[in-house]
Chain A
């Protein structure tokens, strides 16, 4: 486990407001004798809260190596007899019987960006008993047009010729990136009050679409939109990362820049259309800015335009294009053929030794290739 991973999990535990909200919500939602599924369990904290609430058992699922730590921590907290652990992606996990409650903390900055929708939609289809409950159960998302120096700077940096180099090609990427910022009210100026753009159940993994028209109240530079969520944790508990809320949890907000910063004045109108595709991992934001009389500027952005694509990788997305053969694909076929239940990784590497120097530049690369195949298949 890397230092950054450990730091990430420390952050999840240290956010007292969010931790308290999950604890209280699970106390409300979990009934005695419930079986609870903790998706993306990390250190297993939510499972411990479910046990506190009376759960008969908890199934903690996490793909990462942290599952070993979670197992140890379950024992250290006295729950080893009630919590079982599965090392798998949430969408790969199998359970013997449908569960009563699924809980997950992978909300990200604007709900779609850390996987909770995909996990919960899959859980609803495969893992949750009829009438099963989700924590959180529903979301609302909000956006506001803002002046945001940090976000603007992240776009314009690429046009500034750092080190006397022309790196402007990256500007379009920056202007089409859903960026994460830990912001405080001092970092942002809202040009108009935030508006609810969409509301949806937490197992909704289809299109999330919404629109809003903002009437500028505060003259300033329009750099883009800041977005935040409100999660309905239980009938009486909500959490939010609203940068202007005194009750916000310790969570970043997402910033959606516009390519061209525009000065706007009171009464000007900013229209926004947001389109989120959780399954594709693509977010689009478009609209226009009407300033004074007759000056209307359109903008059209998407994370698709902001993704790193090359001619080599495009083929992996285009499903109706022939998949070109390659030496590495041929080797993959051989590796799969050699895995017969008795050969070791060393046996497989040795059998493919003649590929070194052609398909693979070194024995280390071949070994890593075989190890990756085994890890993926395992």
Chain B
């Protein structure tokens, strides 16, 4: 299993993760549905999962983690572990990838 631990030093304001071109995604009633065109499989994310993915693909991971800790009032280590697990799952499923050039 690929492990994509997030939270390394950001290089700039570029997001550390992106949804690949072969993945179509959309919001549905606050949740997110992703369609991996390569595997032809649909994936559903609940509202929290959708929020995490949205933030990780819109800002650097460190900033996203800080904002999530503040908004969800959760211990940083607990949040980091949960986010790491989600990211690993999504990367393994080809639904999320590191932005090219990110260290």
Contacts and interface: CB of A to CB of B under 8 A. Distances in A.
Contacts of B24: 282, 284, 302, 304-305
A317 B21 CA distance: 20
A279 interface: yes
A277 B21 contact: no
A228 B42 CA distance: 29
Contacts of A310: 28-29
A314 B28 contact: yes
B92 to A, nearest CB: 13
Interface in A297-333: 302, 304-305, 309-311, 314-315, 317-321
Contacts, number: 46
A314 to B, nearest CB: 5
Interface string A319-351: 111000000000000000000000000000000
Given A311-B28, A311-B29, A286 B37 contact: no
Given A304-B26, A311-B31, A277 B37 contact: yes
Interface string B67-102: 000000000000000000000000000000000000
A362 interface: no
Interface string A151-168: 000000000000000000
Contacts of A1: none
A318 B26 contact: no
The residue in A275, A315, A318, A319 that gathers the most chain B C-beta atoms within 10 A of its C-beta is: A318
Nearest to B22: A275
A309 B33 contact: yes
A239 B24 CA distance: 33
Given A311-B28, A319-B41, 13 more contacts: A280-B35, A282-B35, A282-B37, A286-B21, A304-B24, A304-B26, A304-B35, A309-B26, A309-B33, A310-B28, A310-B29, A314-B28, A318-B42
23 contacts: A207-B37, A280-B35, A280-B37, A280-B40, A282-B35, A282-B37, A284-B24, A304-B24, A309-B33, A310-B29, A311-B28, A311-B29, A314-B28, A314-B44, A315-B44, A317-B33, A317-B35, A317-B42, A318-B33, A318-B43, A320-B41, A320-B43, A321-B44
